[in-house]
Amino acid sequence: MYNNFLDLEPGRPGLFPIHVWPVPYQGTVSYGDGTKNGPEAILKASYQIEPYDPELAADISELCSFKTLEHQRPIVSGPQHLYQQMRELLEEFDAAGDFFLTLGGEHSISLPLVEFYARKHPGLAVIQIDAHADLRQDFEGSPYSHACIMARIRDLGLKTVQIGIRSFTSIEADYIRNNPDHILPLYPWDLPTPQQAALMVREFTGKGPVYVSFDADGLDPSFIPGTGTPEPGGLSYTWIKDFWKSLWPGPKLVGMDFCELSPIPGSVVSESTAVKCILKVLTSYFSTARLKL
């Protein structure tokens, strides 16, 4: 592809507008770093990925318009300062209709976005693609670490679907097991078919809207090796794309993020796969959604 699908003619009439928000923050990373370079790598890779999906017979550039927001690299001492910056920007938008595709950065960036949408969308559920449960109450002295993001989202009282998690503590395992009405785990070692998983998610979330939080390490590192905390035994690209295809038509998608990409110098595999993952979510949804624009 020779133009960036993430900045395709913003404001074109008849297309659903999407705000692409790069947030290059890595203030609480605990192993490999480089997530601050994730947004730029994803944007560059999007120049080379075709917007047409032959499997879905749909072209995202004919469904949505994209405008990439400017976001200076945050100079902050911790995630709470970043959250303040993010919340100030979000005050300029309306969660009832503004769709953000946010590019991390580490996974902790998701909290202000989920808060933003939860205020306007009763019954919001979060679909988390991840290798890690991220349900720790604190990690390395911070309750806002990337390892705590789903605990903070659970503090909001939201249902969560955890797909691909395979690394967590015994305390997190007990929490998941003891909260079946609020957390639906789909483990890689006992994974249903994509079609079965989509049915389970629709039944679990009911008729409420969903927000997708996609951590790069949810996929097996053979597909996305560029991530700070890789875990073998993850999701395949084929499984996850078929899941999105099967999920919609279904719940309303209000926004999404893609986090934890750490580009590998000399390789473009990880960021290219990230773009394909993002495209499959958006095209699967917007090609079936009946939106009155």
pLDDT at 202 (0 to 100): 97
Contacts of 18 (CB under 8 A, 6+ apart): 64, 65, 66, 67, 99, 100, 101, 282
Residue 110, φ and ψ in degrees, nearest 5: -70, -25
- Asked whether residue 280 is domain-assigned, the answer is yes
Tell which residue, 160, 158, 164, has the closest CA to residue 189.
164
Per-residue pLDDT, 80: 79
User: Is 31 among the domain residues?
Assistant: yes
What is d(CA 281, CA 270) in angstroms, rounded to the nearest whole number?
A: 17
Asked if the structure places residue 231 within a domain, the reply is yes
Phi then psi for residue 76, to 5 deg, are: -135, 160
* Confidence (pLDDT) at 293: 39
- Phi/psi of residue 113, nearest 5 degrees: -70, -45
| CATH number of the domain encompassing residue 274 | 3.40.800.10
- Asked whether residue 292 is domain-assigned, the answer is no
User: What residue ranges of the chain have pLDDT lower than 70?
Assistant: 1-13, 27-34, 71-77, 138-147, 290-293
Residue 10, domain extent: 5-286
Is 134 among the domain residues?
yes
pLDDT of residue 139: 64
Is residue 195 assigned to a domain? Answer: yes
222 occurs within a structural domain: yes
180-224 pLDDT, tens digit per residue, is 999 999 999 999 999 999 999 999 999 899 999 999 999 999 999
Task: Tell me if 291 is assigned to some domain.
Answer: no
Interatomic CA distance for residues 236 and 229, integer angstroms: 17
The count of domains in the chain is: 1
Per-residue pLDDT, 76: 61
Which residues are 23's β-sheet partners?
104
